[in-house]
């Protein structure tokens, strides 16, 4: 019977009796894959730093873990409901692994979901990584604390992510992954997370990074001041009911967001101090890019402003980071995704590349697709390029400047 150890204390006790973690009772899918869902990598009290959970090799292969409590997504009309069918719990430090059965020494790709740091979950069916894993990689999808739970009192969500990466380092061999060949990748706030992780990871927990549509234009000097204002405005503690925490979070966003443009478009996020870009570039190969109309959902009623929003928040900062990475001696390549379904109301908008990397069936009905299906040939190309980069870095890419569709 497949089971999941019920508490971190029990996991630690079992861990101490095991010579090394080994996967127990995991069925193989018809696609020849192993899936481990909802594996707990840490636990934490509210507003406390995460405490790692040692893994005993016992997993639940059939049940998705919880998502962090959250409001409805502002982009639900564009992408659909990314947390449909999931439970909610602020103790959401779980991850899922998808790997080819019998794998050994494969590249590892660790996914960080988007959602403006207030919505989404790595457990979402929209991030089913079966097709990507079939390219010969092990994919890990991480859930972490969001909003007030993750970014009001310090960078707790970022610390969750670092603990998850340490879990990968210590345990991914059991799934056939190579802990010495790890790529962190993410989209939107997840890509912003990867950016923050590149600058804060001093342990060499990952070696390559794919930054997809990171809203780096919201990273302005005013972010620290906005975070302080949020802390003054949001009055909650460890005993405040979750619904009241979310209500206070939404009220704070509504009040402070317009006052801190452009940071106010993503008020909850890691606050970063001085960073050594050269040190990060020396240890991480980078693939960074955006969709052609990334900004369109945010100025949907003003098509003439799509290009401006895309340039200011996504495209321009991505090009600048690529230049800075190269100047610092790092290996870097860029991409632009331009595929647009017929009749799409928002063009090649934010999130449009995701159905090309993950299970396209889970994206059916997403408004951005206008009833169309992702081009299967282009999807196969993208998955191959992403996996190739994870395998051998920039040298594996067909070009240092890639274009997909459009």
Burial (0-12, 13-18, 19+ Cβ within 10 Å), 299: middle
Please tell me whether the overall predicted TM-score, pTM, comes out greater than 0.85 for this model.
Answer: yes
Contact predicate 69/86, CB 8 Å: no
DSSP designation for 232: H
Q: How far is Cα 381 from Cα 374, in angstroms, rounded to an integer?
A: 12
pLDDT of 27: 66
Burial (0-12, 13-18, 19+ Cβ within 10 Å), 194: buried
pLDDT of 23: 59
pLDDT of 366: 97
- The CA distances from residue 98 to 110, 167, 176, 318, in Å, are 11, 15, 10, 29
Contact predicate 346/296, CB 8 Å: yes
Contact predicate 56/72, CB 8 Å: no
pLDDT of 161: 98
Residues of the chain with pLDDT under 50: 1-20
Of the candidates 187, 173, 178, 186, the residue with the CA atom closest to the CA atom of residue 207 = 178
Strand pairing category for 332-337 and 285-291: parallel
Of the candidates 322, 213, 225, the residue with the CA atom closest to the CA atom of residue 271 = 225
- The CA distances from residue 111 to 20, 210, 360, in Å, are 25, 10, 17
- Angle (CA) 173-179-182 rounded to 5° is 130
pLDDT of 13: 38
pLDDT of 26: 65
Of the candidates 269, 33, 212, the residue with the CA atom closest to the CA atom of residue 131 = 33
pLDDT of 55: 84
DSSP designation for 348: S
- Name the token pair of 314: 């996504």
Quote the strand ranges of 89-163, DSSP E: 94-100, 106-112, 138-142
Neighbours of 345 (CB within 10 A): 15
pLDDT of 22: 56
């Amino acid at each position: 019977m497949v089971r999941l150890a019920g508490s971190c204390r029990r996991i630690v006790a079992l861990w101490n009796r095991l010579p090394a973690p080994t996967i127990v009772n995991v069925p193989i899918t018809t696609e020849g894959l192993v899936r481990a869902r909802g594996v707990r990598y840490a636990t934490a009290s509210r507003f406390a730093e995460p405490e790692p959970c040692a893994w005993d090799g016992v997993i639940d292969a059939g049940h998705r873990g919880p998502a962090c409590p959250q409001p409805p997504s502002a982009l639900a009309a564009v992408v659909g409901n990314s947390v449909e069918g999931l439970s909610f719990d602020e103790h959401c430090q779980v991850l899922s692994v998808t790997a080819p059965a019998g794998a050994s020494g494969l590249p590892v790709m660790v996914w960080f979901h988007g959602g403006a740091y207030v919505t989404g979950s790595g457990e979402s069916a929209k991030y089913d990584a079966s097709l990507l894993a079939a390219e010969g990689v092990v994919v890990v999808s991480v859930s972490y604390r969001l909003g007030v739970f993750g970014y009001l009192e310090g960078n707790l969500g970022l610390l969750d992510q670092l603990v998850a990466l340490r879990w990968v380092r210590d345990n991914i061999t059991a799934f056939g992954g190579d802990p010495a060949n790890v790529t962190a990748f993410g989209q939107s706030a997840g890509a912003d997370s990867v950016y923050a992780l590149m600058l804060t990871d001093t342990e060499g927990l990952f070696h390559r990074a794919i930054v997809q549509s990171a809203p780096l234009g919201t990273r302005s000097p005013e972010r620290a001041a906005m975070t302080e204002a949020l802390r003054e405005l949001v009055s909650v503690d460890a005993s405040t009911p979750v619904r009241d925490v979310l209500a206070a979070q939404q009220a704070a966003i509504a009040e402070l967001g317009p006052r801190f443009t452009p940071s106010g478009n993503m008020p909850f996020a890691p606050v970063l101090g001085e960073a050594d870009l050269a040190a990060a570039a020396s240890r991480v190969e980078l693939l960074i890019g955006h969709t052609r109309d990334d900004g369109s959902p945010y100025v949907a009623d003003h098509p003439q402003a799509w290009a401006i929003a895309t340039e200011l928040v996504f495209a321009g900062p991505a090009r600048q980071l690529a230049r800075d990475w190269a100047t610092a001696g790092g290996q870097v390549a860029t991409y632009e995704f331009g595929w647009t379904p017929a009749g799409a109301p928002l063009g090649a908008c934010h999130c449009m590349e995701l159905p090309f990397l993950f299970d396209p069936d889970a994206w059916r009905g997403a408004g951005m697709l206008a009833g169309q299906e992702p081009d299967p040939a282009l999807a196969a190309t993208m998955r191959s390029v992403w996996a190739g980069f994870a395998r051998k870095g920039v040298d594996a890419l067909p070009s240092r400047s890639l274009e997909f569709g459009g």
